[in-house]
Every structure is written in C-alpha cells, then in structure tokens.
Structure 1
Amino acid sequence: MKNNSMSYRIFYGWFVVAAAFAVTFVGFGSAYTFSTFVPSLQNEFSASRGSVSLVFSLAAFLYFGLGILSGPLSDRWGSRVLAVTGMVLVGLGLALAGMARSMTQVYIAYGLGVGLGVGLSYVPVLSTVQRWFVRRRGFASGVAVSGIGVGTLAMPPLSALLVESIGWRDAYFVLGGLAVIVGAGMALLIVNSPRDMGVAPDGDPLKIGGRSEPPKDFAVATAVKSQRFIGLYIACLLCSFGVFVPFVHLVPYAVDLGVAPAQAVYLLAMIGLGSTAGRFLLGGFADRYGRRFSLLVMFTGMALAMMIWLIATELWLLVIFALAYGIFYGGWVAVLPALVMDYFGESKVGSLIGILYTSVAFGTLIGPSAAGYAFDLNQSYTVPILASICVNLAAMVIAANTSKVSQQRLSDNVPG
C-alpha cells in the first residue's frame, strides 16, 4: 500500500487534528477538573485554599513552560513519541495523586505527572497541526484545541460524579486510566508533516519532482529578538496572570455564595462550552478577518467577561460570565499558534510556540495561587478579579501597538 494520503477520502490532516483534539481533551480536561478536588484536598490534608491552589499552578507552570523543550524536540524527532509519552505520564501522575498521603506528595505526583505529561504533548501536537494547513489553519487549530474546551465541559461533571460515588482517590485512578487509553491511543495517529504522506498542506499535490517550494522561515534567534515576538510574549505574560484564575477559583467562589457544590462544578462545564464554541467560531473568524486583529478581540473580551464576574452575586450571572469568558479564552488559545506560524514559518514553529508559552507558564504559576492567598487574607476575590481585568486590557494595548510594527525581513504577505 502506498504511503500517500491521496488514497484517503478524507485529507489525513484531519486525522492529525482529531489526534490533537483527543490529547488536549484528555490532558487539559483532566487538569481542569482540579477545582472539583479542591474541597476534598482541603479537608483531607487540612490545607488552606492558597496552598491547594499552588498544586494547579505548579502543574500549569510545567505544562506551559516545558514547551521550550518539547517544541524543539518535536521539530527534531516528530510529535508522536512525545505525545504518547506525555499521555502516559498524565495517567501515572493522576494515579499517584490518588495515592498521596500528604500535600507534598500531591505536589510531586500531580505537579510532575500532569505538568510534565501535558507539557511534553501540548506544544508538539499543536505545532504539528499548523504544518498540515495554510488556508484553514485558524479553523484547524481551533478544532484541535477545542479538545480543551470539550474536556473542560465534560470532565469536571464526570469527576464530580466520581468523587461523590467512589471518593476523590479512586476518581483520580479512573481519570488516569482515561488519559492512557484515550490520549496515548489517539496520539498514535499523529504524522509530523503532510510531506511524510506525499502531499502538501491542505491536501494539495506536491509540485513536480515530489517537492514543493519551501516556505520562508526564520531562525529561532532572529524571531525571538523581533519586536513582534517580544510584544506577543509580553502580552501573553500579562494576560496569563489572570487567565486561569477562574479554572481554580470559580467553583469555590460559587460555593461561598451558597451554591451547592454539585451545581457549582457545572460553571467549569459552562467555560468549556463557551471555549468549544470560541475555538470553532473564532478560529474561522480569525481566518477571515485577520488573526492579529482577532487576538485583540480575545484580550478585550476576556477583560469584559471578568467585569461580569466582579459584580456577580447570583448563579445566573456566574453562568453568563462562564460562557462569555470561555468563548474569548477559547479564541485566544486557537489564534496564538496559528499567528506564530503566520509570522515566522513552519520549520521552527514548535520551538517558537514553546518559547512563547513560557510566558503563559510564568503567569499561570503566579496568578491562581496568588488569587488563593489573596482570598485567604481578606476572604474576597475582588482584588484578583480586578487585577485580571487590568492585565488583559494591558495585554490588548501592547498587542495592538506591536501589530503595527513592520518587522525586519518578515513577510507582509502572510495570512492574518
């Protein structure tokens, strides 16, 4: 049988997208169930909300920060082996967290297992999707990372049901099994480049002689020194101080208002629902109206949604916040990797996305845990929410100014 994706009725790039969807669904879906486990961990280990929140922050720091290593490794070795290994680590980390006898053991098991596992897989699968598409890159990227949204929609209610029925420890065992079976299994479908299947991006035929003209790529050192990359890095760093605060603190916030925990957990599902819609709809929007402009819309939208959270004292307002925030958060995640590919080409896209995501890692390390400690001090989330609004607006201003810069030796013809 010839190794040629033209023999498939469906362009093989969509199988790669499906694999990326599964990896992000399992990896981030498992990670974003963390808010469901906060009360159990507090009760089990007599821990403060700030110290429990730090578990998520440490894991998130690793799974975004590790991209600086996994990105270059995927450029060199391909993404399949990294994604499979990552999903196995996620499953192992969750299982070991279920066996923990102290908060320190939770930090090690969850932080290293989930953090390293998602970190090994996330940037590689995202960068691979970018290589398979040009015309529909924003949409394909949106579908791939919509796994995060669907995972956020489906996994927290599942984990709440598991915690209630079999306890938090066994719930972590079940989630770990799903990570290995679904995540690692689907990751086997990943193929690093359409050229490995005998076609060009979007399923177009290769040019005569089996070669297509190579894209205009830029060296990593050149790209990261450019004003465009620096501005994008700073904007994402600022945004990330607040972007993951709701994933950790929205459920406890609702419970503090008197909402039953079984109902409060569905707020995370609403973020997932909005995020899924945002990744599908706003990814296509970005392809049509420009990915640089769309990034500004995402920053502004997240800030405006946070304003709803700031005044919310009833469940229905929290639902509106969760849906609105999810839409713009999902769009932000979908647009970023496509924008990096637009700016700097394909050959080092994994390396550059990995470097960019270290900004998200540092912001996430600080933001959710700082919000937890702020709550411990004054029993209020007002300051963390206000701070999240401000950093998103600052990110929008920086990104807007950066997008006006004409980069040295960067093509003005790229999409977006």
Structure 2
Amino acid sequence: MSHTPTSSQAGGLFRGWLVVAGAFAVTFVGFGSAYTFSAFLESLQKDFGASRGSVSLVFSLAGFLYFGLGVLSGPLADRWGSRRLAVAGMVLVGLGLALAGQARSLTQIYLAYGLGVGLGVGASYVPVLGAVQRWFVRRRGFASGLAVSGIGVGTLVMPPLASFFIETLGWRNAYLALGALVVVVGVGMALLIENDPRDRGLGPDGDPPQPKAASAQAEGFAVRDAVRSRRFAGLYVACLISSFGLFVPFVHLVPYALDHGVPNAYAVLLLGAIGFGSTAGRFFLGGLADRMGRAQTMLLMSTGMALSLLVWAASSGFWGLAVFAFFYGAFYGGFVALLPALVMDYFGGRNIGAIIGVLYTSVAFGTLVGPAAAGFAFDVSRSYLLPILFSVGANLVAAGIMWAMSRMDASAKLASTASPRGTVGHDPSTARRS
C-alpha cells in the first residue's frame, strides 16, 4: 500500500497514538476481565460446592496461559501481524467468558474460563505491546506506559462492573455480559493495531522512514545469547520467585475481606484500589526509574510489595485493606511497567519480543502455583496468614536478587571505565551481539 508521510505529520494525529489506543483497549478489557475473577469466586464456590483452592485454580490456569503464551504469540505476530493476533485473542476471551456462563461443572469452568481467557489474553498481550514499540523511539516509554496502563484502569473499572452485573443479572448472565463487552470493545479497538509505521510510509514518532540499518530495532542480543546470560538468569529467578505471590491479592483479597465482614460492594472496590494504584505506579515510578536506574528501582518495587503485604496481614477492616491495595497496586504496576524496559536496557531491541516472551514464562509458572496454593492453604488452615507471609518472603528474596544484579552492574561499569577494552557492563557470556 502507498501512504504519504506528510498526511500524518502535517498537523494531524500521528497514527501511532491510535495504535496505543488499540493496545490500551485490548489490555483494558483483556486483563480487566481476567481480574474480575475474584468477584465471581464466592458464587462459583457456592454453586459448585467446591473448595476455595480448587476454584482458585481456574485463575491460576488462565494466568499460566496468558503469561506463558507470549513466547509463541510474539513470533506469530511477526509473521501474521499483531492485529490478527489481537482480534483472535479478544474473540477467544469473549467466547471463554460466555461459555463460562453456561458451565454446569467446575471442570467446564476450567475449560471455558481457564483456556478461553488464558489463551485469548496470551494471544493478544505481547503482540500489541510489540506493535507499540515499533511506532515510537523518542516517546517509547510514554507510549508503552499508556498502553499497559489499560491493565491498571481495567482492574479499577471491570471488577466493580462485574459485581454490579452479578447482583443484577446473576453470575451466569454477568459472564455473558462481560463476554459481549470484550468482543464489542476489544475486537473493535484491536482493528486499530498496525505492525509497522513503514507500511504507511512513516518512521517511528511520525518521522520520515529510516534505512533498516539505522533502526534501533536492528541492534540487540541474539535470543540464545540473552537467555544464557547471568543477567537473564537473575531476572528469571527473581520474577519466578516473586510471581508465586504476585497475583494472590487479585484472587483472594475480596474473599479475605468478605471473611472479615466487609460488605460485598466495598470488598470489590479493593480490586479497584489495586487498579488505581497500579495506574499511578506505572506513570510516577517510571519517572523515578529514569533517575535512579531501572535495576535499583526494581529492587524498590519488590521491597515495596513485601512491605505492603505486611499491611494486609495486619488488616481486617476496609480502610486498612484499602491502604494495602493502593500501595501494593502502585509497586506491582511499577514492577510490570519496568520489566520490559529493563530487558531492553540489558539486551537491546532487536529480539525484545522473543526475550520478553521467554522471561514471562517465569511469571506463568509462578502464577500457576501461587493463587491456587494460597486457596488450598486457606482450605486447610481457614486463614490466609501463611500465604501472605510466604508472599512477603518471596518478594524479599526477589529484592535481594535485584540488589545483587545492581551491584554486579556497578562493578562492571567501574571495570569498563578502568579498562578501555571493557564491555560496558555486559557479562562475557553475552558479549556477542547479532
């Protein structure tokens, strides 16, 4: 197709911002729908006579798929285009929610919600974020922040909306209503996603297109070299350990509040508080990272989540839980927003989608185990104290790993300034770029 760059630059809206809007909407309805699960947990437990652990496993399965699938959806988007993956993902999410509303057993919930929502979000998440990266260079951080803030805003808006649907329509029709919303909004906005500005005769940020050799995307580590490095190993282990507790509040905070006498309408607002904090964290903590350094700020994110979880352990009333939810959301949001940027810092942009996809398998495994294990622990002890304290410890261990990595970076920089033949902080196993 032939497009002239002047039409998009001469005072008009740069097309890349429409791509950001599409990515925002996809993450809004995709993750927002996934994070409504806590609002449905009590209804599912009651109607199917199931334990809290077995119901929590539904979310764990979905989370495993939507983080783990990025290792496949990223390369598929490069081949087929991000728009196709995003549209297919939104259709799968909508279908999964609708089928969950028709389920007659918990096994059918596993298949409908776990597979439908899990595969749908997994098919769309990495492709839409990858598309945003190609449309921007100078404003990439801001554009990426806007795109992923859909997750935070979705967590703020969708759970209370789901609770309203449950109260007025019943949980089965609530799933149908959410499924219809995802298809209408998600598919409609996913049509704005475009893979590459060069298809419209533009460069990133609306500039004239540059020769391929001049593109920042051309520089970076080979995937094989990146994943064999000490830096990647440190990030992978830190993310894996942290993820065992990362999504426990998304599943169990509402049941915890209900167990302690918080009215349902207020309990669901706690998920909104996580979403509000998450949105704030993605913007404000990102600026802090530019000044402090991203590795040091990631250390702060894990430490902050650990301290916030201690507030949860000590709280039983709405306001104490709301304070926990906001600050946990802020540090969680900073963690999610900084992780791709840190990968870009360490390994360059050439294979950023594939490297992030491999890294996110760590989050997938942690999510598969953590929320379900917390539910089973509650079934045995009738208390969430042990899972909360375990999550505190996991985040502190992750913070320790990030501290060690930041020290390693500092030592490497000192070595590189002392020797003109230094490697600017890259460990030897990844010194080769492609």
Question: TM-score, length-normalised on structure 1?
Answer: 0.94
Per the alignment, residue 426 of structure 2 pairs with 407
Percent identity over the alignment is: 66
Contact 2:90/2:121, CA 8 A, preserved across alignment: yes
Residue 40 of structure 1 and its aligned partner are, at CA, apart by 0.7
Could you say which residue in structure 2 is the equivalent of 1:397?
400
Answer whether contact 2:295 2:405 (CA < 8 A) is retained. Answer: no
- The one-character-per-residue Cα deviations of 1:139-159 (angstroms, maximum 9, x if unpaired) are 322211111111111011111
1:320-359 alignment runs, 5 A limit: 320-359=323-362
Q: Residues 238 and 391 of structure 1 are in contact (CA less than 8 Å); yes or no, is this contact kept in structure 2? A: yes
The residue that corresponds to 1:140 in the other structure is: 143
Q: Are 2:369 and 1:366 aligned?
A: yes
Q: Contact (CA 8 Å) 1:279, 1:331: kept in 2 or not?
A: yes
Corresponding position: 1:281 with 2:284: yes
Letter in 1 for 2:114: G
Structure 2: which amino acid aligns with 1:407? H
Q: Determine if the alignment matches structure 1 residue 26 to structure 2 residue 45.
A: no
- Of structures 1 and 2, the larger Rg is shown by 2
Greater mean deviation of Cα atoms: 37-46 or 346-355: 346-355
Q: Where does residue 150 of structure 1 map in the other structure?
A: 153
In the alignment, is residue 166 of structure 1 matched against residue 169 of structure 2?
yes
Which of 211, 214, 234 is the aligned partner of 1:212?
214
| C-alpha spacing 1:408/1:168, structure 2 compared with 1 (3 Å) | same
Question: Whole-Å Cα distance in 1 between the matches of residues 147 and 405 of structure 2?
Answer: 27
Q: Which amino acid aligns with 2:195?
A: N
Contact 1:17–1:129, Cα closer than 8 Å, also in 2: yes
Q: Is the 8 A contact 2:3 2:201 kept in 1?
A: no
308, 314, 335: which one aligns with 1:311: 314
Match status 1:110 vs 2:129: no
Separation (CA, whole Å) in 2 of partners of 1:25 and 1:254: 25
The SS at the match of 1:265 is helix
Structure 2: give runs of 5+ residues left out of the alignment.
410-424
Deviates most, 334-343 or 350-359:
334-343
Cα distance in 2 between the residues matched to 1:249 and 1:344 = 36
Q: Distance in 1 between matches of 2:120 and 2:315?
A: 35
Q: CA RMSD in A?
A: 1.8
Which string of whole-angstrom CA distances, capped at 9 and with x for unpartnered residues, describes residues 84-126 of structure 1? 1000000000000000000000000001100000000011112
Q: Report the Cα distance in structure 1 between the residues aligned to 2:290 and 2:15, rounded to whole angstroms.
A: 21
Determine the structure 1 residue equivalent to 2:266: 263
Candidates 222, 226, 229, aligned match of 1:226: 229
- Over 3 Å counting, the alpha-carbon distance change for 1:197 and 1:346 in structure 2 is farther
> TM-score scaled by structure 2?
0.90
Q: Report the equivalent of 1:414.
A: none
Provide, for residues 165-224 of structure 1, a one-character-per-residue CA deviation record: whole Å limited to 9, x for no partner. 0100010011001111111111111122333333333334334x6873453222111111
Deviation of 1:235 after TM superposition, in Å, equals 0.7
Listed as ranges, the gaps of 5+ residues in structure 1 are: 412-416
**Does the CA contact (< 8 Å) of 1:292 and 1:339 recur in 2?**
yes
Residue number among 180, 184, 189 corresponding to 2:183 in the alignment: 180
Partner residue of 1:251 out of 241, 249, 254 = 254
- The answer as to whether partners of 1:70 and 1:124 remain within 8 angstroms in 2 is yes
Change (3 A) 1:31 1:3: farther
One-letter amino acid of the structure 1 residue matched with residue 229 of structure 2: S
Which structure 2 residues correspond to residues 34-73 of structure 1 after superposition, within 5 A?
34-73=37-76
Distance (Å, rounded) in 1 between the aligned partners of 2:395 and 2:132 = 27
Q: Distance in 1 between matches of 2:289 and 2:90?
A: 30
- 1:271-323 Cα deviation digits (max 9, x unpaired): 01111111122233334443222222211111111111011122111000000
